[in-house]
Structure 1
Amino acid sequence: MATARTYLKRHTEALVKDVGIEVACEITGKSKATLGRYYSDHPEHADRFIPVDVVSQLEAKASYPHVTSALAELQKITISFDDRRPNATPSGGVNSDVIALSQRFAMLMGEYQQAIEDNIITVNEAKRLLRETVMLQQVLIDMKLHLEEEGA
């Protein structure tokens, strides 16, 4: 279970840093020290985790729901985050989705090819691969929505 703890703390740190420590303090009313304890790997803070309401406040301002996605991954739950077009329906149709899917897959394979050239996938390369994988997933979700729309 230590791995899950470390994983959650790492994503909590990513969330706070995404928002910015100063802004995070303003949003939550918590001190830098308190926020730091939520992601500290020191033994005295091992059982201290960020409260759900604080996660919600920070993720509303963050570029990505770091802690929510980490919790979902730990439970083997897939969630979808799509910041391209909030409160809008997907444009285009299945044909444009197929084209976008092919393009995204080609981009993912290109990133993968570059990443494995030296037989080592670095952290930055893994982040680029993850970003492309998420974009591919978003295209698949759009395609699913279009297919459901046409079949309705």
Structure 2
Amino acid sequence: MAGVGSYLKKHTEALVKDVGLEAACAATGKSKATLGRYYSDSDEHADRFMPIDAVAALEEAARYPHVTSALSELRGITLSYDSDRKNSPEGGVNSDVIALSQRFAMLMAEYQQSIEDGIITINEAKRLLRETLALQHVLIDMKLHLEEETEIG
């Protein structure tokens, strides 16, 4: 459970930082100190986690559902996140293949840049994660287009 708790706390911190500390306080009605305890990795706060209503309020304001995504990953579930559906309305599988190639190239370029010194820093890992998520979104769009085409044909 220690690993799971630490994983959830990291995603809770990402959620708060995504929204911004002041805005997170306003959205949840919690103080800065209380929010900090929810993602603190110190032993005295190991059993403290953000209440689900506060998570819901923050994820509504966030650019990405950090905690929900973490919970789903722990269960082996893949979420389909629909914040920016560039490929979905127009185009189709052909457009998705092009977008997939472009995103993969961006991921590989980011990886090459990150590994040059033999160490992937936290910021580099975050950039790699963003590119990986963008690649996943293109794959989800492609899956939806393929499902659409098989229903028609």
TM norm. shorter chain > 0.5: yes
Pick which of 127-136 and 39-48 moved more: 39-48
Is 1:22 the counterpart of 2:16? The answer is no
Pick which of 138-147 and 35-44 moved more: 35-44
Residue 95 of structure 1 aligns with an amino acid whose one-letter code is N
Residue 15 of structure 2 aligns with an amino acid whose one-letter code is L
- Normalised to the residue count of structure 1, the TM-score between the two structures is 0.89
Q: Distance in 2 between matches of 1:59 and 1:114?
A: 31
Q: How does 1:35-50 map to 2 (within 5 A)?
A: 35-50=35-50
SS of residue matched to 1:60: helix
SS of residue matched to 2:123: helix
Q: How does 1:67-78 map to 2 (within 5 A)?
A: 67-78=67-78
The aligned counterpart of 1:124 is 123
1:75-118 Cα shifts (integer Å, max 9, x gaps): 222213232149x9532111111111111111111111222222
- Alignment check: 8 A CA contact 2:104 2:135 kept: yes
Q: Distance in 1 between matches of 2:44 and 2:119?
A: 35
Q: Distance in 2 between matches of 1:124 and 1:29?
A: 30
- Normalised to the residue count of structure 2, the TM-score between the two structures is 0.89
Structure 2 stretches of 5 or more lacking a match?
none
Q: Distance in 1 between matches of 2:62 and 2:104?
A: 27
Identity, in percent, stands at: 74
CA RMSD in angstroms comes to 1.9
Divergent runs of 4+, >6 A: none
Q: Distance in 2 between matches of 1:42 and 1:124?
A: 22
What is the aligned residue count? 151
Q: Distance in 1 between matches of 2:21 and 2:121?
A: 27
Structure 1 stretches of 5 or more lacking a match?
none
